[in-house]
Amino acid sequence: MITDKEYPATHSMSTSWYIVDKDGNVGVMLTDDNGPATLDYADTALHDMIINADAERKRVRLDYSEEQILEFLSPCDEVTDCVIPPDFVVKIRTSEKERFLELMENPDIRIEACISEKHGYYMIEADDYDSGKAPTFSQIQKEGIVVATFRLQPFWARVDRSENGEAIVKKDFASCPFYVYGSDYSAEHRQVRICEPRNPVRVGQMDDGLLSEVVKVPLRFSESQALQIAEFMPFRKNWSELQSCRFNYHYMELNDGSWGYILDNVDDGQPMPRMFQICGYNDMETCGFSACPFVKDVTLYVSIMDDYQWESETTAGERTDSFAARKSLIDYGINLIEPYLIIISDGILDLVSEFYPMQDGGIVVGGRSYPVIAESAIMENERRIRDIRRLPYRGKSLPKVIRRADLKD
């Protein structure tokens, strides 16, 4: 399937953050709504990562060299009749800085960001942004303060996939001083390199605040056409195959090109699960989470469906095939947390009994019997479930990656 989602004109991805490789080169990771994204996720465009100004917009928080600045600018001679275009940047004579700042105090014009005080680069705009008119700019030009004018490149990018799964990179900028990586809309594949800089920003050029936000990657960007950032950080991502309130495993392409399940984040504020739930896709909204709050913080569950089809829209053979495809993951999840109780949504009780031996009111996994109840029996088992919540977690520590090849068929 070709992914061909339309994106806003200003940027292709929903969020971005800095990454640093083992050699100290700085990159930017772009991901869409589906993630993976950092835990402090915020809508941030590539544009904002390049012109990353402090709260007062007085300076950019990266100590760019002039060569790096010129990588993200394009020459601009569009200023006519005192109209300043969007994303407009001027290079001034540094000897005239005081006069320039004095004129920029006029009400018709303002500094949007100081890109480099040392090299004299400032992003400016008219106070009346819609019209762009700023007569003060004519005065700045007459006094010979401005040496050159530029515009910030548009920094629009996206990653699509062809029918055979190959990455198709589309972008509207020619160069950038960062290694830039981006994910396609499905967010299952590795993120692909969108840009390779001529003069890469180094970690020593970032201020202390930015340094505390970077994600370190134990690879070399120059050698990595693609990478899987989820292997190197806690993250958030839409939809996962093995889920609980405290953690989720997501099926994704790994850094070595194989496929597996990656742990997103362990929330220390929640207990480890004592129970396990097996449910159909459409049962997820009611599989004990909203209907039964006392199950919420102790349940881990696996959905068995690939899409939104279920019940009348799905044949018996398709339901069986879907369950069979996920049985190895269900087995792994049960062996991982060693639950005291397994909750099964009523719509797939027949599949569970078909695929698992039954013994003493439970199912046998790995030679061990685990008690089970139907989802419809949750309320009548309330006391039992509350008692289970008091028991210690008896499962194994959570691996960051579960390789698909390691799951038993």
Is the same domain home to 352 and 208? no
> pLDDT category, 12, cuts 50, 70, 90?
very low
What pLDDT does 60 receive? 82
The pLDDT, as a whole number, for residue 295 is 60
Query: Do 180 and 148 fall within a single domain?
Result: no
More confident residue, 101 or 236: 101
Residue 321 pLDDT level (bands cut at 50, 70, 90): confident
Average pLDDT over residues 117-142: 87
Whether 58 is covered by a domain: the verdict is no
261 and 331 in a single domain? The answer is yes
Residue at 7 is within a domain = no
Whether 42 and 189 map to the same domain: the answer is yes
Looking at the structure of the chain, the number of domains it has is 3
Residues 347-367: tens digit of each pLDDT: 888 889 999 998 888 999 999
pTM: 0.86
Distance between CA atoms of residues 140 and 278, nearest Å: 69
Domain of 122, CATH number, reads: 3.30.70
Residue 257: pLDDT band with limits 50, 70, 90 = very high
Residue 4 domain flag: no
Q: What's the longest Cα–Cα distance across the chain?
A: 92
DSSP 48-93: HHHS-B-TTSSSBSB---HHHHHHSEEE----BTTBPPTTEEEEE-
Domain end residue (candidates: 96, 128, 152): 152
Give mean pLDDT, residues 317-326: 84
Mean pLDDT lowest among 30-34, 86-90, 263-267: 30-34
Counting other chains too, the contacts that 255-259 makes at CB distance below 8 Å and 24 or more residues apart are 255/190, 255/219, 255/227, 255/228, 255/231, 257/190, 258/403, 258/404, 258/405, 259/403, 259/404
Range of the domain at 216: 15-52+155-232
Calpha distance 232→212 (Å, rounded)? 16
- Of 167, 198, 232, the domain-final residue: 232
Residue 141 and residue 79 share a domain: yes
The answer on 253 and 109 residing in a single domain is: no
Nearest-angstrom CA–CA distance, 224 and 216: 14
Stretch 40-53: mean pLDDT: 81
Do 288 and 347 reside in the same domain of the chain?
yes
Here the tokens at position 57 are 């917009």
Confidence at 108, pLDDT banded by 50, 70, 90: very high
Please report whether residue 8 resides in a domain: no
Where are the extended beta strands (E) located within 146-258? 146-152, 157-161, 167-171, 179-182, 191-195, 215-216, 226-227, 242-244, 248-253
The answer to whether position 77 is within a domain reads yes
Residue 379 and residue 340 in one domain: yes
**How are beta strands 179-182 and 167-171 bridged, if at all?**
unpaired
Is residue 129 over pLDDT 90?
Answer: no
pLDDT at 102: 95
Same-domain check for residues 255 and 192: no
CB 51 within 8 A of CB 248: no
What is the pLDDT confidence band of residue 239, given thresholds at 50, 70 and 90?
confident
- Residue 3 in this model has a pLDDT that exceeds 60: no
Domain boundary among 110, 135, 152: 152
Same domain? 323 vs 273: yes
| Residue at 65 is within a domain | no
Q: What confidence category does residue 242 fall into, taking pLDDT thresholds of 50, 70 and 90?
A: confident
Q: Identify the residue with better confidence: 14 or 197.
A: 197
Q: What is the pLDDT of residue 56?
A: 63
What average pLDDT does the chain have? 85
Q: Residue 331 domain-assigned?
A: yes
Would you state the pLDDT for residue 84? Answer: 83
Does 113 map to a domain? yes
DSSP calls for 96-135:
GHHHHHHHTTSTTEEEEEEEETTTTEEEEEESSTTT-B-H
Please state the rounded mean pLDDT for residues 191-216. 93
Please determine, for residue 30, whether its predicted confidence score (pLDDT) is greater than 80: yes
What's at 255, amino acid-wise?
A: N
Q: Is the model's pLDDT at 17 over the cut of 60? A: yes
Based on the fold, state whether residues 34 and 46 are members of the same structural domain: yes
* Together in a domain, 254 and 318: yes
